[in-house]
Structure 1
Amino acid sequence: MVSTAALVAGVLGGACALATAAYVAPSVQRHRSHRGVSSIPLSEYLSFEARVRWQSLLLWLSGVSKELEVLPDADTLTPNVIRILGQNPSRMTLRGTNTYLVGGGAKRILIDASDGNAAYMKHLMQVCELARVQEITDVLLTHGHYDHMGGILRVKEKFPNVRVWKYLPPNGGDRTLRVSNAECELLGIKHLEDGTEFPVSTGANGSDTPTMSTAPFVLRAVYTPGHYNDHMCFFLDDTATKSERALFSGDCILGAGSCVFDSLKELMTSLKLLQKHAPRVIYPGHGPVVTDAQAKIHEYISHREQRENQVLEVLRKASDALSTVEIVNCIYKKLPFALQLAARKAVDKHLLKLRLENRVVVQTHATWFQAPTYRIAA
């Protein structure tokens, strides 16, 4: 007689098999039928797509704040910049990832690609049709998180000749990448050097293939680690006046709230670098357009300095060493669970910076059952 446990296991196994088949079969068919992705090894294609879908599900489950400003699905910000919302709202992505179609002719450049969900691709293709865009020549990725680069397969399927660019840290960098350099190469992603410039077509004079000497605008890549060690920002420069009109900030600067960062020291250096470039407007990776760029950058720098001072003040007032969770509970009040995790990570990065500067020391080191505690250095 079959036991209940065996029966349940059989049902679950069958359900998993059906779900896997339902996912794999269409993906294999897309891989075979689209020239833009058929050169990617099938195993890498399926693995990348599965990870993107899983990460997107986790973000979706976190929910989204109703207090955030509602953004349109697509919005023409200037004659040469159209924002297409990524349709992937969550606590971490706000109303969704902002992607930007840059240029004014039949050939344009796309900055970031969301996670490639069906709703996003529908809006992207509708915008291309309405704007008479025949080809996306290049996708410039601000960094390798799935909510920004996950859509590259779908874009490649629609535009087989598109080139995809991302900064690939030498030897993978000093921290683990979400998508390794080796994987990026398998996916057909090209290495984006700091300072690389892309001529931007405006469609004027019937030219859709401008050169660096004839293009009225240029997109210039600027390496800005901090959010992560593969992060790039892009400046849209007016080649006639050499003035930097706009900054596409990725996740270095958001339109609402503060960014998550992997290295506070690198983030502060990047923010000060962007401050020196003096952009007029910021098109962020998430949230609304920032019309006063200098004020926002100053706000970000001041916010991090203020948060650092708060961490130090909490430790000074404490009668004993404190853990990260205890510090977070003193600084932040009534945060949703999903944001508590982000706050803990942020405080951990502050503590790391302060330790490197010998301003804070570890009192007790982490064990299996206890988190590390910190105190002010003597």
Structure 2
Amino acid sequence: MPAMTLPPQPWPTGKCEQLEPLVRRVLAANGSTFTYTGTQTYLVGTDDELVVIDPGPADGDHIQALLGAIGEGQVLAIACTHTHRDHSPAAAPLAEATGAPIIGCAALAIESDAPRVDAPFDKLYAPDLVLADGERICATGWTLTAIATPGHTSNHLCYALDVEGSDEESGALFTGDHVMGWSTSVVVPPDGDMADYMASLMKLYEREDRIYYPAHGPAVENPRQLVRGMFGHRKQRERQIIRLLEEEARPIAALVPVMYKGVDEKLWPAASQSVHAHLIELERRGEVARSGESWSPIAGR
């Protein structure tokens, strides 16, 4: 959940920034408590061949900024990490404007009566090709490999950049909302799954990526250290839940104020969703049980 103070404005909204030889970034004007300064769309590749990662919201100014950055280049594919509405809606108009296929994560739209603290799903997202874990988008001299990372959403993908014959430009991972340097991801049941999220964190920890480019917030230059810390933080929250329930049975609404004391109350709805995801996983493992709205530990577990 959000943890870092937003940087002072102005933000580089609509500007094309060169991050490294094969990576450029354009920031959408949708900054908020849950998107930091906004969704970062990445243009990966050369002036001749490129892939657009996370085209962002269907905002006309953002789409025009992307088309300006693309120029006369050939867009090989438009790839989304997942289908929250701050990530994928611009895919369709960008595909229409460039003729590029939409390739990447699967379509997903969850209906739920629960109040949502994350962006709702993009119901209109329609990929031309869904990539499975390990499948690639290939260009001249470089590739993007899909890395399945469910947890934040069940259809979440990261994309790993590999450049032929060059270690210097390889090792970049585009992490969407799975790992961000400014915040931990919100895991919202029923689609968000804490066990999947933790497994996906370990999957990335076992890799040797040089740098992470998330959809929100600054680049992560110490990937394995950050992922290790995020994994430990989630385990710490799990232990905290068990400890509080051992004191007395509690509903989620009573856990959150204790667990997130000192955190802005506006963020408590997001915290309650992640606490719920932890409780569902603990219930699966036979460590807690629910009775109505209250949760309690299982004796002799």
Normalising by structure 1, what TM-score? 0.69
1:327 aligns with 2:252: no
Q: How far has the Cα of 1:120 moved from its partner?
A: 1.4
C-alpha separation between the residues in 2 aligned to 1:136 and 1:270? Answer: 29
Q: Which one has more relative contact order, counting CA pairs under 8 Å at least 6 apart?
A: 2
1:314 aligns with 2:244: yes
Task: Give the structure 2 partner of residue 259 of structure 1.
Answer: 185
Residues 1-378 of structure 1: matches in 2 within 5 Å?
Answer: 67-69=5-7, 71-73=11-13, 74-129=16-71, 133-159=72-98, 161-168=99-106, 178-179=121-122, 184=125, 187=126, 189-200=128-139, 210=140, 215=141, 217-240=142-165, 245-261=171-187, 262-316=192-246, 318=247, 320-362=248-290, 364-365=291-292, 372-378=293-299
Structure 2 residue matching 1:345: 3-state secondary structure: helix
C-alpha change, 1:197 and 1:347, in structure 2 (3 Å) is: same
C-alpha separation between the residues in 2 aligned to 1:274 and 1:103? Answer: 23
Contact 1:249–1:284 (8 Å) recurs in 2: yes
Gaps of 5+ in 2: 113-119
Contact 1:137–1:162 (8 Å) recurs in 2: yes
Structure 1 residues 92-122: Cα deviation after superposition (integer angstroms, max 9, x where no partner) = 1111111100012322110011102123123
C-alpha change, 1:65 and 1:225, in structure 2 (3 Å) is: closer
C-alpha separation between the residues in 2 aligned to 1:334 and 1:352? Answer: 25
C-alpha separation between the residues in 2 aligned to 1:300 and 1:66? Answer: 15
C-alpha change, 1:308 and 1:81, in structure 2 (3 Å) is: same
Task: Give the structure 2 partner of residue 24 of structure 1.
Answer: none
Q: How far has the Cα of 1:65 moved from its partner?
A: 9.4
Task: Give the structure 1 partner of residue 116 of structure 2.
Answer: none
Gaps of 5+ in 1: 1-63, 201-209, 366-371
Structure 1 residues 336-359: Cα deviation after superposition (integer angstroms, max 9, x where no partner) = 454211100000001111111111
Largest Rg, 1 or 2: 1
Contact 1:109–1:136 (8 Å) recurs in 2: yes
C-alpha change, 1:302 and 1:199, in structure 2 (3 Å) is: same
Contact 2:3–2:182 (8 Å) recurs in 1: no
Matched AA of 1:77:
L
Matched AA of 1:229:
S
Q: Size of the alignment, in residue pairs? A: 282
C-alpha change, 1:179 and 1:126, in structure 2 (3 Å) is: closer
C-alpha change, 1:278 and 1:69, in structure 2 (3 Å) is: farther
Structure 1 residues 98-148: Cα deviation after superposition (integer angstroms, max 9, x where no partner) = 11000123221100111021231232233234xxx4232211110111110
C-alpha separation between the residues in 2 aligned to 1:270 and 1:377? Answer: 28
Q: How far has the Cα of 1:189 moved from its partner?
A: 3.3
Contact 2:25–2:41 (8 Å) recurs in 1: yes
Task: Give the structure 1 partner of residue 115 of structure 2.
Answer: none
User: Which structure has the highest helix share of the two?
Assistant: 1
C-alpha change, 1:272 and 1:66, in structure 2 (3 Å) is: closer
Q: How far has the Cα of 1:66 moved from its partner?
A: 9.2
C-alpha change, 1:95 and 1:65, in structure 2 (3 Å) is: farther
Task: Give the structure 2 partner of residue 4 of structure 1.
Answer: none
Contact 1:199–1:219 (8 Å) recurs in 2: yes
